[in-house]
């Protein structure tokens, strides 16, 4: 299958009025054939958990967007859809998939794609993202983001998968850089180059998980600044921040685990500031999936991201300047 | 072709079974044994899926304790990994697995307790629908000549549990709704699990009403459902049963 290049619109200031945002989505598909559904606001956001539905709706904090895992909402009805619809009336929505297995060699699961189409039709999120990873094989789902070898053959396969997903969803998706713990001797392409190629060939955007960059660079003895510099930073449509936990490998070297169970580490905040110099201000999510704290704790982290974003917006530094 | 270019097969074997060697073709930047690193993935898979079962089957977990539950869940995972990524529906056959799980044989009510918890999850995520109005039912009851061929559909969230054990009381005791010491687990109990709006309800039913509701759920027409029920419960009160079902918003629609 031939991959196609799609132009990615420059970041724009998102409308603050959600009704206006919805109306602005009614345009015709772009020349590349993929409808870009409007950006997430250049603001802080949080992962939305059922435990926080009511607190969030009652307190209506000043965050820019929320994100949910697609698979949790692939159910016919009930409170999840009820509250998500209400939350989406007040906040932009990012839907984040964890089950498409885009990085796998096997064909995508047609039934799962169909579930995804229905979910996005129902909630019309501003963004959909997935991972450079695999999670299913042979009809079995492992519920983890598993690593892939970075070879020419796999690059071709991943591009086919991204093309297929974008065509089925009729929208540009963002692909997230993984947190990994091992490498493959068969890999012949650096991860940053692999991601850059997928983005260039398919027109997808990058969900830059800064915590994953930090974790992977420690785990593989890489320089995190060099890693980020090697990515197409102008194609970053969203940033993720999360907490990691610490372990050791067999040689006693630090092995960081992308656990999403604690506050964002200071080193990751610093890497985030460095990242913003290259990407410009981009919608930034605080991810927390384990040890869920009360809503105000997450909001404080989102506010911290927001403060750094505003500093970046105030600096008004053109994105291209730092890329050259 | 080297296996390491297509590692999914090797991963699949090694992820669940820590006695299997890690896949070939893995490396670490510092030359360390990749096993410790691969174990992160093993741990993620097992722990996250066990946690998914724990969140659905929390009363079962309380009844057997964390250690036993995790060992049982691990056995289940070895046999039946999820077949798709929608984990809300993972564990549908866990009650059946528990029923066959030898080490749990001394707790014969465990499988039906799991079934009740599973029904609560099904009801929670079921399709939304406006329940049948009392007026619509009254109109139907005012046409006695058509009643025998009336088909009464249950709400899409409705799940019916008929157990030889007191699993409804056991479940309620674990919600703090009644003292556990008052529960005799060997008593039969029945319940309708339902979510008419946002809250899942567990509605205890008498055996006759449960049988009648079960007949309706299987699509039997009113005359046949009544006959089925009366044959084993001559005392069955149709109007009382219908009153319960309509006031609890358990009915969806009528057809002839």
pLDDT (tens digit, 9 = 90+) per residue, B145-192?
Answer: 999 999 999 999 999 999 999 999 999 999 999 999 999 999 999 999
Percent of chain A with pLDDT over 70: 85
Domain boundary among B72, B107, B142: B107
B13: pLDDT confidence band, cut at 50, 70 and 90?
A: confident
Give the model's pLDDT for residue B90.
Answer: 96
Q: What is the mean pLDDT of chain A?
A: 89
Q: Is the ipTM of this complex over 0.90?
A: yes
**B249 in a domain, yes or no?**
yes
Nearest CA in chain A to B198: A79
Domain boundary among B58, B79, B107: B107
**B60 in a domain, yes or no?**
yes
Q: Is the pLDDT of residue A16 over 90?
A: no
Q: Is the pLDDT of residue A310 over 80?
A: yes
**B119 in a domain, yes or no?**
no
**B117 in a domain, yes or no?**
no
**B33 in a domain, yes or no?**
yes
User: Roughly what angle, to the nearest 10 degrees, separates helices B66-79 and B34-56?
Assistant: 110
Superfamily of domain A31-314: Divalent-metal-dependent TIM barrel enzymes (3.20.20.150)
Are A181 and B38 inside 8 Å of each other by CB?
yes
Q: Please give, rounded to a whole number of angstroms, the shortest distance from the CA of B54 to a CA of chain A.
A: 14
Is residue B254 domain-shared with residue B147, that is, in the same domain? Answer: yes
Look at A318 and B209; give whichever has higher pLDDT.
B209
Is residue B50 domain-shared with residue B143, that is, in the same domain? Answer: no
**B45 in a domain, yes or no?**
yes
* DSSP states of B79-111: H---SSS-GGGTTTTHHHHHHH-GGGTT-TTHH
| Mean pLDDT to the nearest integer, A184-208 | 98
Give the model's pLDDT for residue A30.
Answer: 33
Is residue B75 domain-shared with residue B131, that is, in the same domain? Answer: no
Give the model's pLDDT for residue A315.
Answer: 85
Give the model's pLDDT for residue B71.
Answer: 97
- B 189-248: CB under 8 A from A: 195, 198
What single DSSP character describes residue B183? Answer: -
Any A CB within 8 A of B84 CB: yes
Q: Is the pLDDT of residue A218 over 70?
A: yes
Give the model's pLDDT for residue A38.
Answer: 65
Is residue B142 domain-shared with residue B255, that is, in the same domain? Answer: yes
Strand segments (E) across A90-173: 92-96, 127-131, 134-137, 140-146
Is residue B163 domain-shared with residue B93, that is, in the same domain? Answer: no
Q: Is the pLDDT of residue B128 over 60?
A: yes
H/E element, B154: strand B151-154
What single DSSP character describes residue A129? Answer: E
**B141 in a domain, yes or no?**
yes
Is residue B103 domain-shared with residue B130, that is, in the same domain? Answer: no
B18: pLDDT confidence band, cut at 50, 70 and 90?
A: confident
| Mean pLDDT to the nearest integer, A50-59 | 97
Give the model's pLDDT for residue B158.
Answer: 98
Give the model's pLDDT for residue A317.
Answer: 55
Residue B192 structural domain: 126-256
Percent of chain B with pLDDT over 70: 98
Residue A141 CA from chain centroid, whole number: 21
Per-residue buried b or exposed e for A78-93, using 16+ beta carbons within 10 Å of the residue's own CB: bbbbebbeebbeebbb
The CATH number linked to B210 is 3.90.930
Q: Give first-to-last CA distance, chain A, whole Å.
A: 33
Nearest CA in chain A to B29: A220
Q: Is the pLDDT of residue A322 over 80?
A: no
| Mean pLDDT to the nearest integer, A245-265 | 96
Q: pLDDT per residue over B86-116, tens digit each?
A: 999 999 999 999 999 999 999 999 999 999 9
Per DSSP, what are the bridge partners of residue B20?
none
Are A255 and B36 inside 8 Å of each other by CB?
yes
What total of structural domains would you count in chain B?
Answer: 2
Whole-angstrom distance, CA of residue A237 vs CA of residue A208: 8
Is residue B97 domain-shared with residue B138, that is, in the same domain? Answer: no
**B221 in a domain, yes or no?**
yes
Q: Is the pLDDT of residue B1 over 70?
A: no
What single DSSP character describes residue A31? Answer: T
Look at the block and give the residue holding tokens 């709706």: A57
Whole-angstrom distance, CA of residue A44 vs CA of residue A127: 15
What does the domain layout of chain A look like in residue ranges? 31-314
Any A CB within 8 A of B17 CB: no
Give the model's pLDDT for residue A319.
Answer: 53
Is residue B166 domain-shared with residue B206, that is, in the same domain? Answer: yes
Is residue B43 domain-shared with residue B153, that is, in the same domain? Answer: no
Is residue B93 domain-shared with residue B15, that is, in the same domain? Answer: yes
């Amino acid at each position: 299958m031939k991959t196609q290049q799609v132009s990615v619109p420059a970041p724009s200031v998102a409308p603050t009025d959600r009704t206006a945002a919805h109306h602005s989505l009614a345009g015709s598909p772009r020349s590349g054939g993929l409808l870009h559904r409007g950006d997430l606001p250049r603001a802080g956001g949080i992962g939305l958990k059922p435990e926080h539905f009511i607190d969030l709706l009652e307190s209506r904090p000043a965050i820019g967007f929320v994100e949910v895992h697609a698979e949790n909402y692939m159910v016919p009805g009930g409170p999840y859809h009820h509250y998500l619809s209400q939350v989406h009336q007040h906040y932009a929505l990012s839907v984040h998939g964890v089950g498409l297995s885009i990085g796998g060699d096997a064909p995508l699961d047609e039934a799962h794609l169909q579930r995804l189409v229905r979910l996005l039709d129902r909630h019309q999120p501003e963004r959909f993202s997935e991972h450079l990873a695999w999670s299913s094989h042979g009809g079995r789902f492992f519920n983890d983001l598993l690593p892939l070898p970075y070879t020419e053959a796999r690059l071709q396969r991943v591009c086919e998968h991204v093309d297929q997903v974008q065509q089925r969803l009729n929208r540009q998706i963002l692909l997230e850089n993984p947190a990994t713990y091992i490498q493959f001797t068969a890999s012949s392409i650096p991860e940053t180059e692999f991601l850059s190629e997928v983005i260039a060939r398919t027109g997808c955007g990058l969900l830059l998980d800064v915590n994953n960059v930090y974790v992977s660079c420690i785990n593989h003895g890489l320089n995190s600044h060099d890693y980020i510099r090697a990515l197409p930073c102008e194609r970053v449509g969203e940033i993720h921040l999360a907490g990691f936990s610490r372990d050791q490998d067999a040689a006693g070297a630090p092995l960081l685990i992308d656990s999403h169970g604690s506050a964002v580490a200071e080193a990751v905040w610093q890497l985030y500031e460095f990242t913003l110099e290259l990407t410009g201000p981009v919608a930034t999510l605080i991810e927390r999936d384990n040890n869920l704290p009360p809503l105000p704790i997450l909001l404080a982290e989102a506010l911290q991201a927001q403060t750094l974003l505003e500093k970046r917006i105030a600096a008004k530094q053109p994105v291209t300047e730092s890329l050259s | 072709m080297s296996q390491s270019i297509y590692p999914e097969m090797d991963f699949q074997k090694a992820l669940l079974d820590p006695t299997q060697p890690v896949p070939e073709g893995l490396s670490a930047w510092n030359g360390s044994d990749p096993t410790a690193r691969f174990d992160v993935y093993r741990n993620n898979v097992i722990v996250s899926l066990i946690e998914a079962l724990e969140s659905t089957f929390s009363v079962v977990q309380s009844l057997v304790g964390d250690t036993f539950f995790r060992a049982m869940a691990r056995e289940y995972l070895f046999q039946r990994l999820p077949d798709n990524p929608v984990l809300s529906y993972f564990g549908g056959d866990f009650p059946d697995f528990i029923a066959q799980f030898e080490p749990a044989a001394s707790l014969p009510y465990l499988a039906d307790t799991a079934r009740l918890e599973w029904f609560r999850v099904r009801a929670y995520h079921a399709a939304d629908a406006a329940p049948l109005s009392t007026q619509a039912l009254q109109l139907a009851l005012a046409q006695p000549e058509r009643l025998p061929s009336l088909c009464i559909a249950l709400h899409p969230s409705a799940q019916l549990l008929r157990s030889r054990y007191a699993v409804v009381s056991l479940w309620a005791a674990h919600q703090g709704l009644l003292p556990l010491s008052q529960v005799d687990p060997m008593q039969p109990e029945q319940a309708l699990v339902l979510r008419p709006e946002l809250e899942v309800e567990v509605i205890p039913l008498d055996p006759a009403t449960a049988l009648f509701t079960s007949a309706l759920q299987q699509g039997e027409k009113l005359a046949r459902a009544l006959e089925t029920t009366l044959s084993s419960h001559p005392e069955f009160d149709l109007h009382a049963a219908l009153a319960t079902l309509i006031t609890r918003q358990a009915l969806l629609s009528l057809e002839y």
